[in-house]
Amino acid sequence: MKRATILVDLWVVLVYGFMYLPIAVILIFSFNASEIIAFPLQGFTTHWFGTVFTDTRLTGGLGITFLVSIPVSILSTILGAMAALALTRYKLRFRAAFLVMLFVPFLIPKVILAVSHLILLSELGIERSLLTIIAAQTIIILPFTSLIIASVLIRIDRRIEEAAADLGANRISIFRRVTLPLTKNGLMAASFIAFVLSSSEYVLTSFVSGRKQPLSILVASDFRFNISPTLDALAFLIVLANITLVGIGEIVRLKSRR
């Protein structure tokens, strides 16, 4: 039994090492003084982080990322809240069909979704732009926000809403004064997760983006042709920002369960 436990622990360490060792390597080389990404290291420097913020191409891509991710997080949170309310508060006639349609992005590979979006835009004669990125990303992120918000709604004691109805409150008042305040933390957590997913989405974005491209597309393009310490520094900053946002979202979500 002890030997089996050791093997399981070793396997877990190997899996996590395989997942996170590349990130550790990126972190190491982002502080390396040499432009050549190779061992041995040539010294410690923070120069590459400063270069990230002085590169107008990268900062421009970051600005476009915010122009996409903020609307996506807002739209997917609002639509996710509506879907979660429909699932947890109403008896839907076609509940199974609604669930299937809602969670289709979980079941279909992103490449297929991306190609289908591209064909649809081409057939409709719609030019690819930031709006097409926002629309496409909202669709694939919607299931995540719906699940997060539904997990909060399902824990709310329905007797509180029933008590408000007994006191004469209509459905709108019940939602505004009871349900919404109790779901506030879940909505915030869903919006944080949506922002992270949107900012890091590459496959779908690469198909539906036009001339203005978010940071994820620019970074992926640069990594294909030229790996530099500046890109290592940028990649580490992106990972750090995403971990921070996910952590905040999880803290807010856990807070809502109390």
Q: Model-level pTM?
A: 0.78
**pLDDT the model gives residue 164:** 77
- Return the SS3 of 32: strand
- On whether the CB atoms of residues 54 and 123 are closer than 8 A, the answer is no
Euclidean distance between CA atoms 156 and 81, whole angstroms: 14
Q: Give per-residue pLDDT as tens, 153-197.
A: 888 777 777 787 777 777 778 777 878 888 888 888 888 889 888
Q: Is 212 in a helix, a strand, or coil? A: coil
The pLDDT mean for the chain works out to 80
Model confidence pLDDT, tens digit, residues 29-68:
777 777 776 677 777 777 778 777 787 777 788 888 888 9
Q: What local confidence, expressed as pLDDT, does residue 166 receive? A: 75
Q: Do 204 and 217 form a contact (C-beta atoms < 8 A)? A: no
Q: Is the peptide bond between 40 and the residue preceding it cis, with omega within 30 degrees of 0?
A: yes
Per-residue pLDDT tens digits for 18-31: 877 877 887 887 77
**Per-residue pLDDT, 78:** 92
Q: Is the pLDDT of residue 256 over 60?
A: no
pLDDT of residue 1: 57
Provide the pLDDT for residue 257.
58
Confidence of residue 72 (pLDDT cuts 50, 70, 90): very high
Could you give the CA distance from residue 141 to residue 106 in angstroms, rounded to a whole number? 9
Which residue did the predictor score with more confidence, 144 or 169? 144
Given the candidates 3.30.1330.20, 1.10.3720.10, 3.40.50.1440, 1.10.730.10, the CATH classification of the domain at 54-256 is 1.10.3720.10
Q: What is residue 38's predicted lDDT score, i.e. its pLDDT?
A: 67
* Residue in this structure with the two tokens 């004469």, named with its chain if needed: 168
Q: Tell me the CA end-to-end span of the chain in Å, nearest whole number.
A: 38
pLDDT at residue 239 is higher than 60: yes
Q: Residue 214, preceding bond cis, omega within 30 degrees?
A: no
